[in-house]
Chain A
């Protein structure tokens, strides 16, 4: 936090002493934040964001413009997600922030700290304990409930920008539900690669009406949005758009009848840390003997580990912990299980 920012917002509360940078920084940890409005944003901004969010919920998948504010971090670092989260948080809420599956990245920790300091919320890394989860590029492995809200950070809001850079033309396409161009993109992808070659930001039809960019989550996570119990809010700060997938809304990845949507497959792999075979794994290279250094190329080996760090930690304690362990009813359908995914994949590879 810079002094300039503080001076601009200082009119609403007690100014922070600015004798020296060191003193100011010390204040940030202390009473200095008392100078800010609750949850950092002023009430008008929160109302604006909530209005946009309500409209987004009312028109699932439709991109609703809102007055995105400057935030104390650069646009593109989750400013949209932060505004959506801070507009929703109340003092009794528990907040979790994930950055590509990890709670402990610098960015996730900073966002969590901002919310804790300005909104007086409790924070957690346990998915099942959170009321609001802000996430970048992942949806947690543990099943979300109808008491939870997921806020996804969005860098690019319009899935059609891949096929046409003109936002004006794309808005007309959305208005008319005319997605022929995206279908041609999928067709050409199959022509070139034999399958639909889209790793993340998979174009997804919401409630049979609007085509949505589900943010850069892996394909693994897309089915979790379909008929989910929780509310998902997708917010972009730079592009000033909010859209949403309300609970129990159909979310269908675009694909051909005979070139189906498939999730990532990890044949023969299990998490190196917890042994899971039904979670989204990422490959990491590390030194097989010591902690791993950059120079000894031959000494590296590739290992797969869970991307969802907090669930991986639970699985290390209890390897048989189901993804819906916290829920009463059985038969919860949440995302793909790896063996089934392999079967699906076998159909057309």
Chain B
């Protein structure tokens, strides 16, 4: 079943002009419009995600992958102009045009975004349990004991010591904070989780465990995911299919092992060969 179907996604920072799209991209070798100076973070992007599938999005910093992820997660950015069409199973019409209530319902129910920066996603002076509980409460949970039990289960599932549940999130380690984000994202059993650079700010020793936890829970719950990362290792570990972005365009897509071992596009070959 197709969960998310997006076409012609275009994210522009700046005034924008009719030449923005044709003067940028992989062939033009830039993402900045020569006429009006706008940054075309992403254009002509078509993406679809099936239930339970993990889609990786790789590319270097500034390639437009985070902008694309935000647009797909219906995260509004007041500085950007977003165009195109995002459709989601069970919802009518283009969700980029949806009203607040529809987006809020989707974001507290079906789609969860795990922000790259922990501070964008968590309140550090609220307890770890409280950060997870907020999503449940916003989704209409009204039994304290049910909320407690669900939070405790999510802590166990994402391997955070439940004994730390009632400590302020600011006292947690980076890895634990990332787990709290993941627990929060998974709390309302979404169909789709968007992970933006899930390893940012984590020690290498912690990265693998966090990713493995996510992968295990993702498979067990059958939740689909879009994983955005500049780190090919992250995408190789998690994604079934992978998109490669360069200068705001999707330059290659395919099965993750195919993209990694038999890259067709020149940029992808360079990217693969650049891995230390």
Do A and B interact directly, with beta carbons closer than 8 Å?
Answer: yes
What residues of A have a CB within 8 angstroms of the CB of B22 in the complex?
A: none
Take A180-B137, A183-B137, A187-B137 as given contacts and tell me if A256 and B143 are in contact as well, using a CB distance cutoff of 8 Å. Answer: yes
The reply to whether A188 and B126 form a contact with Cβ atoms under 8 Å apart is yes
Number of A positions contacting B (CB below 8 A): 16
Task: Determine if B143 and A191 form an interchain contact, defined as CB atoms under 8 angstroms apart.
Answer: no
Q: How far, in Å, is B141 (CB) from chain A's closest CB?
A: 9
Which residues does chain B contribute within 8 Å of A256, judged by CB atoms? 142-144, 147
Q: Which residues of A contact B143 (CB under 8 A)?
A: 256-258
* Interface membership of chain A positions 152-187, coded 1 if the CB is closer than 8 angstroms to chain B and 0 otherwise: 000000000000000000000000101111011001
B50 on interface, CB distance cutoff 8 Å? no
Cross-chain contact B126 with A184 (CB below 8 angstroms): yes
Is the CB–CB distance between B129 and A191 below 8 Å?
Answer: yes
Residues of B within 8 A of A191 (CB): 127, 129-130, 166
Which of chain B's residues have a CB closer than 8 A to the CB of A229? none
Q: Does B104 have its Cβ within 8 Å of any Cβ on chain A?
A: yes
Residue of B nearest to A188 (CB): B130
Chain A residues, CB < 8 A from B166 = 191-192
Look across to chain A and name the residue whose beta carbon is closest to the beta carbon of B103. Answer: A176
A183 — nearest CB in chain B belongs to which residue? Answer: B137
Complex CA–CA separation, A179 to B133 (angstroms): 13
- Asked if A183 and B134 make an inter-chain contact with CB atoms under 8 angstroms apart, the answer reads yes
Contact A184 B133 (CB under 8 A): yes
Give per-residue flags for B129-140: 1 if the beta carbon is below 8 A from chain A beta carbons, else 0.
111011101100
Assembly CA distance A122 to B207 (angstroms): 75
Set of chain B residues within 8 Å of A176, measured between Cβ atoms = 100-101, 104
Q: Which partner residue on chain A sits nearest B142 by CB separation?
A: A257
Residues on A with beta carbons closer than 8 Å to the beta carbon of B101? 176
Within 8 A of A (CB), among B114-171: 123, 126-127, 129-131, 133-135, 137-138, 142-145, 147, 166
CB-based nearest A residue for B144: A256
Do B138 and A187 have beta carbons less than 8 Å apart?
Answer: no
A190 interfacial contact with B, CB 8 Å? yes
Bound complex: CA A85 to CA B142 (Å): 38
User: Within 8 Å of chain B (Cβ to Cβ): is A303?
Assistant: no
A75 interface hit (Cβ, 8 Å): no
**Are B104 and A187 interface neighbours, CB within 8 A?**
no
Picked from A184, A192, A257, A258, the residue with its CB within 8 Å of the CB of B137 is: A184
- Please name the residue on chain A nearest to B135 by beta carbon: A180
**Cα distance A176–B135 when bound, in Å?**
15
Nearest chain B CB to A168's CB is how many angstroms away? 13
Quick one: which of B134, B137, B142 has the most chain A CB within 10 A? B137
- A183, A190, A192 pick with most chain B CB within 10 angstroms: A183
Contact A187 B100 (CB under 8 A): no
Q: In whole angstroms, how far apart are the Cα atoms of A195 and B43 in the complex?
A: 52
| Contact call A187/B142, Cβ cutoff below 8 A | no
Contact of A184 among B100, B130, B145 (CB under 8 A): B130
A259 on the interface (CB 8 Å rule)? yes
Distance of A178 Cα from B139 Cα, bound (Å): 10
A129–B96 alpha-carbon span in the complex (Å):
58
Within the complex, which residue of A178, A181, A192, A258 is in contact with B144, where a contact is CB–CB below 8 Å?
Answer: A258
Chain B residues positioned under 8 Å from A180 (CB to CB): 134-135, 137-138
How distant is the Cα of A257 from the Cα of B143 in the complex, in angstroms? 5
Within 8 Å CB of B135, what residues of A? Answer: 180
Min distance, Cβ A173 to any Cβ of chain B, angstroms: 10
Known: A176-B100, A178-B104, A178-B138. A187 touches B145 (CB 8 A): no
Given A176-B100, A178-B104, A178-B138, A258-B145 contact (CB < 8 Å): yes
CA distance A188 to B135 in the complex (A): 14
Instruction: Determine the chain A residues whose CB is within 8 A of the CB of B127 once the complex forms.
Output: 188, 191
Give chain B nearest CB distance to A203 CB in angstroms.
Answer: 13
The interface residues of chain A lying within 8 Å CB-to-CB of B130 are 184, 187-188, 191
Closest 9 CB pairs of A and B: A180-B138, A183-B137, A256-B144, A184-B134, A259-B144, A257-B143, A180-B134, A184-B130, A187-B133
**Additional pairs, 12, CB under 8 Å, beyond known A180-B134, A188-B126:** A176-B104, A180-B137, A180-B138, A183-B133, A183-B137, A184-B126, A184-B130, A184-B134, A187-B129, A187-B144, A191-B166, A257-B142
Query: A residues bordering B, Cβ < 8 Å?
Result: 176, 178-181, 183-184, 187-188, 190-192, 256-259
**A-B residue pairs in contact (CB < 8 Å), sample of 28:** A176-B100, A176-B104, A179-B138, A180-B134, A180-B137, A180-B138, A181-B134, A183-B134, A183-B137, A183-B138, A184-B130, A184-B131, A184-B133, A187-B137, A187-B147, A188-B126, A188-B130, A190-B144, A191-B130, A192-B166, A256-B142, A256-B143, A256-B144, A257-B143, A257-B144, A258-B143, A258-B145, A259-B144
